[in-house]
């Protein structure tokens, strides 16, 4: 198999996973945030699929509506993810979970935990800078109360190949931007957590963060 095929497939997975800091826009949702971060994706061939994991860091800067009060906040944390690209069906699917802590403009501590999911079927891979969208679920802990939000995220990513630390894998380093918005609501059925390829370790981490399980 030529090197171009795994590179293109890994690039798709990278775009599904990493996204960071969108252009400035008015915050007009109960939850709205711009996110900036960086991550490393490691992909390998598994049967007729490409599997990939990602690890990185992110920073959120946004606004939360609390009892009709707009509360600006910022938070920093880590992300981890998993993705699969089927060589046969041409479907790429990825999940990213994150946990961040920071401070609201009022000086109060804030924690944000979330899960992003994107799915795409296409013969032509996404290119660096292309916009993509997906579903998101976030839990915000502020003033001793947890609030959950359901919505979408959109963004783009840029990155490239890097020397791999693991034999038989492809490594990409990426940075990017995305914007997420949400309305109050429970975990959505649009984010599947019953995919047969999702690793037990990943699902365990989702459960630890009390996101959808």
Q: What is the pLDDT of residue 101?
A: 98
pLDDT tens string 65-86? 998 899 999 999 999 999 999 8
Residues 199 and 102: beta-carbon distance below 8 Å: no
Q: What is the pLDDT of residue 156?
A: 83
pLDDT tens string 87-144? 899 998 999 999 999 999 999 999 999 999 999 887 765 555 667 789 999 999 999 9
pLDDT tens string 6-48? 555 455 444 444 433 333 334 468 999 999 989 998 999 999 8
Q: Nearest-CA neighbor of 41 among 89, 6, 90?
A: 6
Q: Which residues contact 67 (CB under 8 A, 6 or more apart)?
A: none
Q: Which residues contact 143 (CB under 8 A, 6 or more apart)?
A: 66, 108
Give the CA count within 13 Å in the CB-facing half-sphere of 32: 14
For the chain, count helices (H), then strands (E): 2, 8
pTM, rounded to two decimals: 0.84
C-alpha to C-alpha distance for 47 and 24, rounded to whole angstroms = 43
Q: What is the pLDDT of residue 21?
A: 35
Q: What is the pLDDT of residue 124?
A: 67
pLDDT band of residue 157 (cuts 50, 70, 90) is confident
């Amino acid at each position: 198999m030529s090197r171009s095929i795994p590179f293109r497939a890994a690039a798709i997975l990278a775009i599904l996973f990493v996204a960071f800091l969108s252009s400035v826009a008015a915050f007009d949702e109960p939850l709205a945030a711009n996110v900036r971060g960086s991550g490393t994706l490691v992909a390998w061939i598994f049967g007729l699929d490409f599997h990939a994991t990602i690890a990185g860091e992110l920073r959120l800067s946004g606004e939360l509506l609390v009892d009709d009060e707009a509360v600006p906040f910022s938070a920093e944390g880590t992300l981890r993810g998993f993705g699969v690209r089927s060589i046969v069906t041409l479907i790429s699917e990825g999940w990213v979970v994150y946990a961040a802590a920071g401070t609201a403009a009022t000086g109060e501590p804030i924690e944000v935990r979330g899960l992003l999911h994107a799915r795409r079927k296409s013969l032509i891979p996404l290119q660096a800078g292309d916009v993509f969208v997906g579903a998101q679920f976030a839990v915000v802990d502020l003033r001793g109360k947890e609030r959950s939000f359901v919505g979408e995220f959109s963004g783009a990513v840029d990155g490239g190949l890097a020397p791999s630390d693991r034999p038989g894998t492809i490594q990409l380093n990426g940075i990017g931007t995305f914007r997420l918005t949400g309305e109050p609501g429970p975990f959505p059925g649009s984010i599947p957590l019953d995919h047969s390829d999702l690793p037990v370790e990943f699902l365990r981490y989702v459960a630890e963060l009390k996101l959808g399980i």
